[in-house]
C-alpha cells in the first residue's frame, strides 16, 4: 500500500531536484521514494551486521592458545 507524503523544501532545492529527476527520467516523488528505500535498506543491513558481530563476540574465538610453562621453565638457568 502506498501513502502520500507532503514535504516542505526550499525553492532552490526543489528546482535542482526537478532537474535531477528530469535527467534521470523520473519524478521527484520517485526520486525521493528510491532514496528513502535505499536509506532503510542500508539501516537494516547495518543492524543485521551489527547483530552478527555481537553474536560472534559473545560466542568468543578459539585461538588454540595454551599457557606455556612457568617462567623458570622458559628461562632455564
pLDDT in tens, 15-35: 999 999 999 999 999 999 999
Domain that holds residue 20: 1-60
How far apart are alpha carbons 12 and 35 in whole angstroms? 19
Q: What integer pLDDT is reported at residue 50 of this predicted model?
A: 98
pLDDT digits (tens, 9 = 90+) for 33-75: 999 999 999 999 999 999 999 999 999 988 888 877 777 777 7
Question: Does 16 fall in a domain?
Answer: yes
19, 26 contact by CB (below 8 A): no
Q: What's the grid cell of residue 70?
A: 612457568
Q: What integer pLDDT is reported at residue 10 of this predicted model?
A: 94
Number of domains in the chain: 1
Question: Does 65 fall in a domain?
Answer: no
Q: Which residues contact 30 (CB under 8 A, 6 or more apart)?
A: 21
Question: Does 46 fall in a domain?
Answer: yes
Amino acid at each position: 500500500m502506498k501513502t502520500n507524503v507532503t514535504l516542505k523544501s526550499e525553492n532552490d532545492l526543489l528546482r535542482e531536484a526537478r532537474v535531477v529527476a528530469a535527467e534521470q527520467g523520473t519524478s521527484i516523488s520517485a526520486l525521493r521514494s528510491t532514496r528513502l528505500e535505499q536509506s532503510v535498506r542500508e539501516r537494516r543491513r547495518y543492524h543485521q551486521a551489527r547483530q552478527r558481530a555481537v553474536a560472534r563476540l559473545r560466542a568468543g574465538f578459539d585461538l588454540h592458545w595454551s599457557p606455556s610453562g612457568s617462567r623458570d621453565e622458559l628461562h632455564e638457568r
